[in-house]
Structure 1
Amino acid sequence: MSVDVHRTPEERFTALPDFPYEPRYREWEGLRLAHLDEGPADGPVALLVHGEPTWSFLWRTTIATLVDAGFRCVAPDLPGFGRSDKPTDVGWYSYDRLVASLVDLVDGLDLRDATLVCHDWGGPVGLRTAALERPERFARLVAMDTGVFDGNQKMSPAWHSFRDFVEQATELPIGFLVNGGCATDLAPAVVDAYEAPFDVPAATAGARALPLLIPRAPDDPGAAAGAATQQALRADRRPQLILWGAQDPVLPADPLARLIGERLLTRAGEPQLIDGGHFLPEDAGAEIGERVAAWVAAG
Structure 2
Amino acid sequence: MTVHRTPDESFANLPGFTHEPHYRDWEGMRLAHIDVGDGRPVVLLHGEPTWSFLWRKVIDELVPAGNRCIAPDLPGFGRSDKPADDWYTYDHLVASVVDLFEQLDLRDVTLVVHDWGGPVGLRVATTEIADRISRIVVMDSGVFTGTQPMGETWQAFRSFVDATPDLPIGFLVQAGVHEDLADEVVAAYEAPFDSVDAKGGARTLPGLIPQTPDAPGAAEGRAVIAALAADTRPMLLLWAEHDTVLPLDGPGRQMEELLPLKEPLHLIEGAGHFLQEDRGDEIGRVIADWLAS
Give the alignment's TM-score, normalised by structure 2: 0.98
* Structure 1 residue 60 corresponds to structure 2 residue 56: yes
Where 2:141 maps in the other structure, the secondary structure is coil
In structure 1, how many angstroms separate the alpha carbons of the residues matched to 2:276 and 2:74?
17
1:166 Cα deviation after fit = 1.0
**Aligned counterpart in structure 2 of residue 45 of structure 1, from 41, 45, 50:** 41
1:268 Cα deviation after fit = 4.8
In structure 1, how many angstroms separate the alpha carbons of the residues matched to 2:111 and 2:262?
14
The AA in structure 2 aligned to 1:34 is: A
Which residue is 1:117 aligned to? 112
The superposition leaves residues 192-229 of structure 1 with CA deviations (integer Å, 9 ceiling, x where unpaired) of: 00000000011000000000000000111111111111
Q: How does 1:280-291 map to 2 (within 5 A)?
A: 280-291=275-286
In structure 2, how many angstroms separate the alpha carbons of the residues matched to 1:186 and 1:111?
34
Where 1:145 maps in the other structure, the secondary structure is strand
In structure 1, how many angstroms separate the alpha carbons of the residues matched to 2:23 and 2:182?
29
Rate the CA distance shift 1:11–1:271 in 2: closer, same or farther, 3 A.
Answer: same
Which residue is 2:244 aligned to? 249
Which residue is 1:77 aligned to? 73
CA contact under 8 A between 1:261 and 1:268: conserved in structure 2? no
In structure 2, how many angstroms separate the alpha carbons of the residues matched to 1:107 and 1:215?
28
CA contact under 8 A between 1:237 and 1:267: conserved in structure 2? no
Rate the CA distance shift 1:146–1:268 in 2: closer, same or farther, 3 A.
Answer: farther
The superposition leaves residues 211-259 of structure 1 with CA deviations (integer Å, 9 ceiling, x where unpaired) of: 0000000111111111111111111110111001100010001122111
Which residue is 2:29 aligned to? 31
Which residue is 1:269 aligned to? 263
* Structure 1 residue 259 corresponds to structure 2 residue 254: yes
Which residue is 2:172 aligned to? 177
The AA in structure 1 aligned to 2:201 is: G
CA contact under 8 A between 1:242 and 1:268: conserved in structure 2? no
Where 1:51 maps in the other structure, the secondary structure is coil
Where 1:238 maps in the other structure, the secondary structure is coil
Which residue is 2:274 aligned to? 279
In structure 1, how many angstroms separate the alpha carbons of the residues matched to 2:69 and 2:153?
32
In structure 2, how many angstroms separate the alpha carbons of the residues matched to 1:273 and 1:91?
37
The AA in structure 2 aligned to 1:33 is: L
Where 2:32 maps in the other structure, the secondary structure is strand
CA contact under 8 A between 1:258 and 1:270: conserved in structure 2? no
Paired residue total? 292
Q: Where in structure 1 do 4 or more consecutive aligned residues deviate above 2 Å? A: 266-269
Which residue is 2:183 aligned to? 188
1:267 Cα deviation after fit = 2.2
Which residue is 2:198 aligned to? 203
Give the alignment's TM-score, normalised by structure 1: 0.96
Which residue is 1:164 aligned to? 159
Instruction: State the identity as a percent.
Output: 59
In structure 2, how many angstroms separate the alpha carbons of the residues matched to 1:270 and 1:157?
27
Where 1:119 maps in the other structure, the secondary structure is strand
